[in-house]
A and B are shown apart, each in its own frame.
Chain A
Amino acid sequence: MPAKAASRATGTAILAAFRAAGGVEVEADILQPAEALLDLYGEDIRGRAYVTTDPLRGEMMLRPDFTVPVVQAHMAGGAEPARYCYLGEVFRKQDHRGSARVAEYFQAGYEVFDRADPEAADAEVFALFSKLLAPLGLVAAIGDIGLLMDAVRGLQTLGARKSALLRHIWRPRRFHALLDRYAGVTPVPLARAALLRGVAVPKAPWVGLRSKAEMQARIAALAADAEAAPIAAAEVAQLDRLFALKAPAPEALARLQDLARDMPSIAPAVTRLGRRLAALADRGVDLAAVTFDASHGRTTMEYYDGFVFSFTVASDPTLPPVASGGRYDALTAVLGQGRSIPAVGGVIRPGLVADLGGLV
């Protein structure tokens, strides 16, 4: 199959560049335990993973990406700091037709586990990708999920509301519906109002695994929520301004510094963004050509919780990103059973690179 051979050849060249940058090549099994790992991905990947049954090992899946197995291997005993690279196929069911919508394709990836200077590590990965992909004339976008999370944590409202909003950072529609609810923009649903007045007690036997105590706890939470003041309109407006921010990186930084005067909770993350941009400039990245999009990454991998980036083809918005990545510190904590390490990485799709004319 010529297309596959071209993908592999391009991937091999990318892998060589990753090795030259200091990455130690690692392998990951194609068959991965589904139950343990599938939970770590968002709904999108979970719905698209090929899951099958193994007579001895239970539910197994064809690996839908490398990051989770690589993190797992590192947390199980990798030395620090570490730089890894890999090349191999990933498998995702496709629900829509289209030439780039293939169910198996190569990924070449580079992952950095380093505590010393997270912003420098972010810049290292982005700059490496940017330099490699330069011949393709792609559009680069960056964002910062951590910035959004800090903004939510800084809201003057109930902790339960903040947790609910944080849980839906990656699902913008539900996030904004909840925000409207907490801000008093959407009225309380009739059934909930009746429940809180104590009139709606259904006459039905209890069925199912969810317990009465769980229901009572939620009713108590709803009552506490009903007592609490709505989130102030000014705070919602700030949050909306932040989430809608999209501008060339240097301009975005200036506007974020401005926003941070009214939203002190994002100030540390804005300072980190400034350090990250300076590190990128030091590595020769033209910042004016990089778009900072505050909502970037909100609909992709749920394990990204900091810096995120992508490289896309401007002339064809139907194509998936040629490269993407981000920081996933929390994932290392989940897989590290008590231990964690700042980590950042990304993948390139060699098949798309080859289709676009290759790296030279």
Chain B
Amino acid sequence: MLKLGVPSKGRLMEQTFEWFAARGVKLRRTGSEREYSGAVEGADGVELVLLSAGEIPRELSAGRIHLGVTGSDLVRDKLADWSAQVAELAPLGFGHADLIIAVPTAWADVDTLEDLDAAAAAFRRQHGHRLRIATKYHRLVRDYLQAEGVADYQLVDSQGATEGTVKNLTAEAIADITSSGETLRANHLKILSDALIHQSQATLFVAMAADWTPDASMALDGLCAQLGLTSPRVPASL
């Protein structure tokens, strides 16, 4: 069987179901509201696995599912060397969100990454510690700032309510996903004009580490044909 991992609830699940349905593959939950099981019609040999969107990168990495739908931001952040572990089969065109850096709106002198870097240098001299950036996207943000040559910052972990960390004096800036910017404005933060770290969207991924038996490969070819996608090259199982 070809295991397809899909978010188990909310808008992301509904839009995923719609995306597949529009291409003739009907995914649906079965059983009660609380039971995470599903069924697939319109593609042979495919099993639906309902999972939390945040767990799908890990399941892909471990090869416990062959295919998975999740945000491109989560895959890049949670998986080291992500492109060696999974391949992007198709961007799905929904679940758009930008990973950005935001600073207090009142900082009139900071609009670009160059400004942030200079402010960080002065901040460190003044306060004796590095300028703190609150985020849960450690890998994406660190890789980005390192590639851009920013110094004198440190990442502090924030798993929720990240926009509040500046007011609460636990960070000077944040790096977070924003789709509308409403929460940022409410917390008196503005987005740096040139620091778009990643434009995320829901994406169908293929797991390299999955057990690609002849059956699973055949089911993948069938599903791809039905979805109008080119079949990816997957490692043959031994």
Known: A207-B188, A218-B118. 18 other contacts (CB 8 A): A43-B145, A95-B81, A164-B121, A171-B149, A171-B151, A174-B151, A178-B114, A192-B115, A195-B109, A204-B106, A205-B106, A205-B188, A207-B167, A207-B187, A208-B167, A208-B169, A210-B104, A222-B109
Chain A residue contacts of B106, Cβ below 8 A: 202, 204-207, 215
Contact A174 B122 (CB under 8 A): no
15 inter-chain pairs at a CB distance below 8 angstroms, sorted by A residue, are: A167-B151, A168-B149, A173-B149, A174-B117, A189-B114, A191-B111, A192-B111, A201-B108, A202-B190, A206-B104, A207-B189, A209-B127, A209-B172, A214-B126, A222-B109
- A178 / chain B contacts, CB cutoff of 8 Å: 114
User: CB-nearest residue of chain A relative to B153?
Assistant: A43
Residue in B84, B104, B121, B169 whose CB lies within 8 Å of A204: B104
Q: Mark B161-197, 1 if CB is under 8 A from A, else 0.
A: 0000011010010000000000000011110010000
Identify the closest chain B residue to A181 (Cβ). Answer: B114
The 8 A CB mask of B130-160 against A (1 = contact, 0 = none) is 1100000001001001111111001000000
Docked pose: A172 CA to B115 CA in angstroms: 17
Considering the chains assembled together, what is the distance between the CA atoms of A219 and B106 in angstroms? 13
Most chain-B CB neighbours within 10 Å: which of A44, A167, A204? A204
Interface size on B, residues (CB 8 A): 42
Once the chains bind, are A219 and B104 in contact (CB under 8 Å)? Answer: no
User: Chain B 214-230 against A: per-residue CB contact (8 Å), 1 yes, 0 no?
Assistant: 00000000000000000
* Chain B residue, CB-CB nearest to A164: B118
- Check if A195 sits within 8 Å of B108, measured CB to CB: yes
What residues of B have a CB within 8 angstroms of the CB of A289 in the complex?
Answer: none
Q: What is the bound-complex CA distance between A180 and B185, given in angstroms? A: 33
Nearest Cβ on chain B to A37's Cβ, whole angstroms: 14
CA distance A14 to B108 in the complex (A): 56
Complex Cα gap A293–B147 (Å): 22
A173 touches B119 (CB 8 A): no
Q: Does B107 contact A (CB under 8 A)?
A: yes
What class of interface size applies to chain A in its complex with B?
Answer: 35 or more
Residue B80 is within 8 A (CB to CB) of chain A in the complex = yes
Task: Name the residue on B nearest A39 (C-beta).
Answer: B130
Give the distance to chain A from B168, nearest Cβ to Cβ, in Å: 9
Interface residues of A in 176-211 (CB under 8 A from B): 177-178, 181, 189, 191-192, 195, 200-202, 204-211
B176–chain A nearest beta-carbon distance, Å = 15
Q: Is the CB of A97 within 8 A of B84?
A: yes
Smallest CB gap from A171: residue in B = B149
Answer yes or no: B20 CB below 8 A from chain A CBs.
no
- In the complex, are the beta carbons of B104 and A207 less than 8 A apart? yes
Q: Known: A181-B114, A207-B166, A209-B127. Contact between A174 and B80, CB under 8 A?
A: no
Q: Contacts A171-B149, A174-B117, A205-B188 given; indicate if A191 touches B104 (C-beta within 8 A).
A: no
Query: Which residues 265-286 of A sit at the B interface, judged by CB distance below 8 A?
Result: none
Q: Which residues from chain A contact B105 at a C-beta distance below 8 Å? A: 202, 204
CA distance A46 to B152 in the complex (A): 11
Contact of B149 (CB < 8 Å), options: A174, A206, A214: A174
Given contacts A168-B151, A173-B149, A202-B105, contact A209 B169 (CB under 8 A): yes
Q: Does B123 contact A (CB under 8 A)?
A: yes
With the chains together, A207 CA to B108 CA distance in Å?
Answer: 13
| Closest residue on chain A to residue B121 by CB atoms | A167
Interface contact B112-A208, CB-CB below 8 Å: no
Picked from A43, A44, A218, the residue with its CB within 8 Å of the CB of B119 is A218
Question: When the two chains form their complex, are residues B166 and A43 in contact, meaning their CB atoms are under 8 A apart?
Answer: no
Chain A residues with CB below 8 A from B149, complex form: 168, 171-175, 177
Nearest residue, chain B, Cβ from A202: B105
Task: Assess the B166–A191 pair: CB atoms within 8 A.
Answer: no
Alpha-carbon distance between A172 and B190 when the two chains are bound, in angstroms = 28
Q: Which residues of B contact A219 (CB under 8 A)?
A: 108-109
A215 touches B107 (CB 8 A): yes
Question: A221–B145 Cα gap in the complex (Å)?
Answer: 24
Chain A residues near B167: list those with CB within 8 A: 207-208
